[in-house]
Amino acid sequence: MIDVHANLDDVRFDEDRAKLIKQLRAAGIRRLINSGCSHEACAAAIKLAEEHDFIYASVGIYPHDVAELEWNGTGRLKEMAKHPKVVAIGEIGLDYYYDTASKPMQKKWFHTQLELAEELNLPVVIHSRDAMKDTLDILREHPNNTGIFHCYSGSVESLREVIALGWSISMGGVVTFKNARVAKEVAAAVPADRLMLETDSPYLAPTPYRGKRNSALYLPEVAKCIAELRGTTPEEIERITDENALRMFRMV
Ligand SMILES: [Zn+2]
């Protein structure tokens, strides 16, 4: 199984990170992409990827932290993105839920980082919260980019636009929550070649572990839930999502 979005550098893993990574490997996690959201987190993601063969990194500055780019520009980010184990630019995007950075500033750096991804020929990991319309409008202006919406939280209608633009989605623990009606509809509707699995660990542990520290050890619960919604087997979900992730992120 492949986890396309984890935050193993989080302080909640400080106590037992090495042990957990061994457990993930033993449990059959073939690849894991650790996602950066600030310069510091990106550097930590790269360090983890250097230490473990099955861990890869994605580097980008997340909407709440784009002020870092106002001060530093994209020079350091670009250098990090050239690392051989960096497989994507992200997570980047728009987040209107918290107003930690102004909308114009978020949009400006979303555009700039999409251009960087195009220049480096890397796929993109999108973070979009309460900002689907603006996110899609910006992506339409960048037809040469592709990638995934991580923790996709939009409607089935927006999903159709995401798919039409050539993008994919990844889903995690939320789909298992009892009240997650829209996520369940999305899981049933997404084309088989556009779906990947993620944890967003340590956040969003699936049922029956909801509220606990999440990790890819719980990813089988997500595969099981999506399989039921799609009328197929967990093995088949694992097979298609692995294939999609390996292809999208060119992980050998
Ligand atoms: Zn995110």
> Please, is 114 exposed, middle or buried when counting C-beta atoms within 10 Å of its C-beta (0-12, 13-18, 19+)?
buried
The closest of 188, 62, 186, 175 to 128, measured between CA atoms, is: 62
Distance 163 CA to ligand 1 centre (A): 19
Distance 150 CA to ligand 1 centre (A): 6
Task: Provide the pLDDT confidence category of residue 98 given band limits of 50, 70 and 90.
Answer: confident
- In tens, the pLDDT along 215-236 reads 999 999 999 999 999 999 999 9
List phi, psi (to 5°) of 202: -85, 5
Distance 246 CA to ligand 1 centre (A): 20
CB-based neighbours (< 5 A) of ligand 1, an ion: 91, 127
- In tens, the pLDDT along 36-82 reads 999 999 999 999 999 999 999 999 999 999 999 999 899 999 999 99
pLDDT of residue 2: 98
- Rg of the chain on CA atoms, in Å: 17
Q: Which two tokens stand for residue 246?
A: 């390996």
**Vertex 243 angle, CA 202 and 45, to 5°:** 35
Distance 212 CA to ligand 1 centre (A): 18
Distance 25 CA to ligand 1 centre (A): 24
This prediction's pTM: 0.97
Distance 73 CA to ligand 1 centre (A): 21
Task: Provide the pLDDT confidence category of residue 91 given band limits of 50, 70 and 90.
Answer: very high
Asked if CATH classification 3.20.20.140 holds for the domain at 2-249, the reply, yes or no, is: yes
pLDDT of residue 120: 98
Average pLDDT, the chain: 97
The mean pLDDT of 147-159, rounded to a whole number, is 97
Distance 127 CA to ligand 1 centre (A): 4
pLDDT of residue 99: 79
The residue with tokens 């457990």 is 23
